[in-house]
A = this chain, B = another copy of it.
Amino acid sequence: MTATFAELWNGIAPIGRARNGGYLRYALEEPELVLRDWFRNQAARRDMPVTDDGNGNLFAWWGDQWGQDAVLTGSHFDSVPHGGGFDGPLGIVSGFLAVDELRRLGHTPRRPIAVVAFVEEEGGRFGVPCLGSRLLTGAIEPAQAAALTDREGITFGEALGDTPAGRLPGLTSRIGALIELHIEQGRALEVPVGVASAIWPHGRWRFDFTGHGDHAGTTRMADRRDPMLTFAYTVLAANKEARLNGAHATMARVEVEPNATNAIPSLVRGWLDARAAETGTLDAVVEAVIKRATERAGRDGTELTVTNESFSTEVTFEKPLAARIAALLGEAPVLPTGAGHDAGVLSAHVPTAMLFVRNPTGVSHSPAEHADEADCVEGINALARVLGDLT
């Protein structure tokens, strides 16, 4: 078994790719199910038995399954709609290839190693990001997760085929560490491989703007209660508040009822994605956006309700582990990120670290996302060194 990066990568590249080059890999739907089959197949080729945790997360084992103090490595298969191919799958492919490299070197691990594929990391289908790792760690109730619906009304429980199992018994003794390799998602990394220091706190808020559906041609401007106006104002307010506070805020998803050219909407629903280096800043930005949106709703004659759909507190990865890895990799740069990851969820319970692979354009969540093959290979070698060092 001496697969190269290119062989494995080219094997999954066509799966779920749309004509614009972006990916439509939603959790537990056709292309992602094909990737899960690919995962089982790669594990079988390496004599790595596969278990799942009853939450939709898959584990391929080198050593005792659910033995004590295992070192996990991996990421997720699912994409945002029309996202890039590296965000997630690079960590899983690299996990299998790092195992190959350790075996080639004759390494005999003293702790179990598992390659892991977390389910629904993007929240692209059921709305809650890192759903698989939240379930595994007990950060979300199984019944609540089971009831989450996709855009067609299918629940997560139905897609999974069962109510999720929830928190892994003996989590903190069984999982000794998680090392997640991931493409970097900004332009902050100028060498092939870096180490994560922290993840910004971030969250998603749904803004339901309700107004009064009516005829766009006949309703006098003064008589309108048009929720599209309140939404539009809020989009601009979110952008301004983020810039004023050195945070990130985005309204990138919108649903309109009835969404017809000649009918004033009765409902406009927009989602706010907000992130900042500190929780206090994040809270201030979200509070300011809600305040301004509410004031505008008063002027527009519309109504606003805001629902926090997810919130991820600030993550600081274990400093001694990050320092040890950075030293091992020849003083690799240590840097924070604004992107959420399963490693961030696990970091509240077990030692976690992340390796970042350089992103030359900084583009992610887009068909244009790219990493150079040579950097990916350096990432695999770095991951193998880290896993070898830890086991």
- List A338-358 residues whose CB lies under 8 Å from chain B: 338-340
Q: Contacts of A127 on B, CB cut-off 8 Å?
A: 261
Task: Please indicate the chain B residues that have their CB under 8 angstroms from the CB of A243 in the complex.
Answer: 221
Task: Write the nearest CB–CB distance from A270 to chain B, whole angstroms.
Answer: 9
The yes or no answer to A105 lying at the interface (CB within 8 A) is no
Are B262 and A219 interface neighbours, CB within 8 A? Answer: no
CB within 8 Å of B: which A240-261 residues: 242-243, 248, 250-254, 256-261
Is the pair A252, B248 in contact by a Cβ cutoff of 8 Å?
Answer: no
Which listed residue (B239, B261, B340) contacts A229, Cβ 8 A?
A: B239
User: In the bound complex, how far is the Cα of B364 from the Cα of A22, in angstroms?
Assistant: 40
* A339 B215 Cβ-Cβ under 8 A: yes
Partner of A213, one of B214, B338, B366: B366
What's the minimum C-beta distance from A363 to chain B, rounded to whole angstroms?
Answer: 5
Cβ A81 vs Cβ B365 within 8 A: no
Is the CB–CB distance between B218 and A185 below 8 Å?
Answer: yes
The reply to whether B239 and A22 form a contact with Cβ atoms under 8 Å apart is no
**Is there an interface contact between B273 and A261, defined as CB atoms closer than 8 Å?**
yes
- The verdict on A185 contacting B252 (CB below 8 Å), with A123-B261, A233-B236 known, is no
Interfacial chain B residues near A76, Cβ < 8 Å: none
CB proximity of A286 to chain B, nearest CB, Å = 14
Q: Is A228 an interface residue (CB 8 A)?
A: yes
Q: How far is the CA of A215 from the CA of B365 in the complex (A)?
A: 5
Q: Is the CB of B254 within 8 A of A256?
A: yes
- Interchain CB contact (< 8 A) of A204 among B83, B251, B261, B362: B261
Q: Which of A260-302 contact B (CB under 8 A)?
A: 260-266, 271, 273, 275
Q: A45 on the interface (CB 8 Å rule)? A: no
Given B248, B253, B265, B367, which contacts A259 in the complex, CB threshold below 8 Å?
Answer: B253
- Alpha-carbon separation in the docked complex, A245 to B337 (Å): 48
Interface size class of A (residues with CB under 8 A): 35 or more
Contacts of A214 in B (CB 8 A): 362-366
Q: Does A142 contact B (CB under 8 A)?
A: no
B248 contacts A219, C-beta separation under 8 Å: yes
Residues of B within 8 A of A338 (CB): 215, 217-218
Q: In the assembly, what is the distance between CA of A337 and CA of B365, in Å?
A: 46
List CB contacts (< 8 Å) of A296-339 with chain B.
337-339
Min distance, Cβ A339 to any Cβ of chain B, angstroms: 4
The answer, yes or no, to whether A63 is at the interface (CB within 8 Å) is: no
Contact of A236 among B187, B232, B258, B265 (CB under 8 A): B232
Q: Is residue A129 within 8 Å, beta carbon to beta carbon, of the partner chain?
A: yes
Contacts of A186 in B (CB 8 A): 215, 218-220
CA distance A262 to B338 in the complex (A): 11
Contact A263 B216 (CB under 8 A): no
- Give the CA-CA distance A231 to B200 in the complex, in Å: 28
Known pairs A239-B229, A242-B221; A216 contacts B81 (CB<8 A): no
Q: A226-B239, A232-B232 are in contact. Are A260 and B185 (CB under 8 A)?
A: no
Most B CB contacts (10 A, CB to CB) among A124, A218, A259, A362 go to: A218
Q: Does any Cβ of B come within 8 Å of A208's Cβ?
A: no
CB contact under 8 A between A253 and B248, given known A185-B215, A213-B368: no
Given A217-B273, A339-B218, decide whether A362 and B223 contact each other with a Cβ distance below 8 A.
yes
A80 at the interface (CB under 8 A from B): yes
Chain B residues with Cβ below 8 Å from A218 are 185-186, 248, 337-339, 362, 364
Taking A200-B217, A221-B243, A263-B366 as given, write out 11 further A-B residue pairs in contact, using a Cβ cutoff of 8 Å, ordered by the A residue number. A122-B262, A129-B262, A186-B218, A187-B223, A215-B366, A217-B275, A231-B232, A252-B256, A253-B259, A254-B254, A262-B365
Pairs of residues from A and B, 8 with the lowest C-beta to C-beta distance, nearest first: A213-B366, A232-B235, A81-B258, A216-B250, A263-B365, A185-B218, A215-B364, A232-B232
